[in-house]
């Protein structure tokens, strides 16, 4: 019954013009920013490959210091040495598995304890799976990495960021949030009552990210802290590397022929974090650097409030 109510609620809000705009936005040339970011601190999750690596190097090339959050110690050390020698900036890292709640909380507490301000926080780490994997706590791994990890870090950092002169939070989101056109199933966020769908699980996590922005926006009222989400475009990355063989073949031989260079996404993430043109813009969804209207379920503030209460509980933030 609840699903049927959501169907009719959201169905009336869908507009063909918005779908056309989404398609056009994907082909638009993104805006760029040439302003330096010297001596600022940028925290980025998932920097040992793909968009994360390019984004770390982009910020480093413009003078920013980096704090990377990754799973792999050896890869993190190698990236640190490469970036510091090439760009003459400070690149530190924390090691954390963002599928484990205790490690998410630990790294969030380390961020809170930092003495210097966090000028930009980029949630880039993510994954997609065709077959469900559960975490040690019994949660859907995609939902934990894509949604719960950013939520915990953002939540614990509220007071620190509000106490700063300014800060920007950017979540690497996706047009994939449209894979769940009738919204989240709040009583089954971890796919224990339904047949698992990799696309819908990914879409649900990304939709949850978008919904969380509504409440975080309220929490940051009175400060110069903004939170936005960005679809990085169809670019080369390692997303889907853990999926089944047919998908890997499809991505390499078909989809891969249409993918754009990864630095398009990193340049856009730099624009989102530095450009003065959007320094007061918050709680918005962008396709690269073009502001875009997300799917109707992403606008649902009442649903966002329900998700917020659930998130506080399942993320052990009481």
How high is the pLDDT of residue 1? 45
Confidence of residue 238 (pLDDT cuts 50, 70, 90): low
Confidence of residue 249 (pLDDT cuts 50, 70, 90): very low
Q: How far is residue 313 from each of residues 148, 156, 202, measured CA to CA in Å?
A: 11, 14, 21
Q: Which DSSP category does 259 fall into? A: P
> Which range has the worst mean pLDDT, 17-21, 57-61, 247-251?
247-251
Pick the residue with more confidence: 66 or 248? 66
Confidence of residue 257 (pLDDT cuts 50, 70, 90): very low
pLDDT at position 254 over 80: no
pLDDT at position 160 over 50: yes
| Positive or negative: CA dihedral 241, 173, 267, 94 | negative
Q: What mean pLDDT do residues 50-63 have?
A: 97
pLDDT at position 135 over 50: yes
Helix (H) or strand (E) holding 66: strand 65-70
CATH number, domain of 208, equals: 3.40.50.720
* Whether the Cβ atoms of residue 113 and residue 120 lie closer than 8 Å to each other: no
Confidence of residue 139 (pLDDT cuts 50, 70, 90): very high
pLDDT at position 111 over 50: yes
What gap in Å lies between CA 93 and CA 294, rounded to an integer? 33
How high is the pLDDT of residue 250? 40
Share of the chain above pLDDT 70, in %: 90
One DSSP character per residue, 157-186 reads THHHHHTSS-EEEEEE--GGGGG-TT---G
How high is the pLDDT of residue 156? 98
pLDDT at position 234 over 70: no
How high is the pLDDT of residue 260? 57
Domain count, the chain: 1
pLDDT at position 244 over 80: no
Q: What residue numbers bound the domain in which 119 lies?
A: 2-314
How high is the pLDDT of residue 27? 82
Confidence of residue 251 (pLDDT cuts 50, 70, 90): very low
Confidence of residue 5 (pLDDT cuts 50, 70, 90): confident
Neighbours of 281 (CB within 10 A): 14
The answer to pTM > 0.85 is: yes
Angle in degrees, 0-180, between the axes of helices 101-113 and 149-156, rounded to the nearest 10:
30
What gap in Å lies between CA 192 and CA 298, rounded to an integer? 23
What gap in Å lies between CA 210 and CA 157, rounded to an integer? 18
Confidence of residue 7 (pLDDT cuts 50, 70, 90): confident
Q: What mean pLDDT do residues 96-101 have?
A: 98
Q: What mean pLDDT do residues 266-287 have?
A: 98
What gap in Å lies between CA 277 and CA 280, rounded to an integer? 8
How high is the pLDDT of residue 2? 55
Q: What is the pLDDT of residues 171-217, one digit of tens each?
A: 999 999 999 999 999 999 999 999 999 999 999 999 999 999 999 99
What gap in Å lies between CA 21 and CA 139, rounded to an integer? 35
How high is the pLDDT of residue 9? 86
How high is the pLDDT of residue 28? 86
């Amino acid at each position: 019954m609840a699903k049927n109510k959501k169907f009719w609620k959201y169905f009336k809000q869908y507009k063909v013009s918005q779908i056309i705009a989404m398609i056009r936005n994907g082909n638009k040339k993104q805006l760029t920013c040439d302003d330096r970011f010297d001596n600022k601190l940028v925290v980025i999750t998932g920097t040992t490959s793909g968009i994360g690596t390019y984004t770390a190097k982009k910020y480093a090339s413009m003078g920013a210091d980096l704090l990377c959050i990754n799973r792999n110690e050896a890869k993190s050390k190698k990236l640190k040495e490469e970036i510091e020698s090439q760009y003459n900036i400070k690149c530190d890292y924390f090691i954390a598995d963002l599928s484990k709640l205790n490690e998410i909380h630990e790294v969030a507490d380390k961020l809170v304890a930092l003495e210097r301000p966090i000028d930009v926080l980029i949630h880039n780490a993510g994954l997609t799976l065709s077959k469900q994997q559960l975490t040690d706590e019994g949660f859907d791994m995609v939902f934990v990495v894509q949604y719960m990890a950013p939520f915990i870090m953002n939540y614990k950092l509220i007071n620190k960021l509000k106490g700063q002169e300014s800060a920007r939070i950017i979540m690497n989101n996706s047009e994939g949030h449209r894979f769940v056109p009738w919204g989240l199933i709040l009583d089954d966020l971890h796919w224990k009552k339904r047949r698992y769908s990799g696309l819908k699980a990914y879409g649900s996590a990304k939709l949850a990210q978008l919904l969380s922005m509504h409440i975080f926006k309220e929490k940051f009222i009175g400060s110069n802290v903004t939170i936005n989400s960005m679809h990085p475009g169809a670019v080369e990355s390692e997303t889907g590397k853990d999926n089944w063989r047919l998908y890997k073949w499809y991505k390499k031989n078909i989809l891969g022929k249409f993918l754009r260079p990864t630095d398009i996404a990193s340049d856009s993430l730099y624009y989102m974090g530095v450009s003065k043109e959007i320094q007061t813009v918050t709680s918005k969804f962008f396709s690269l650097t073009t502001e875009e209207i997300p799917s109707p379920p992403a606008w649902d503030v009442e649903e966002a409030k329900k998700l917020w209460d659930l998130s506080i509980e399942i993320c052990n933030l009481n």
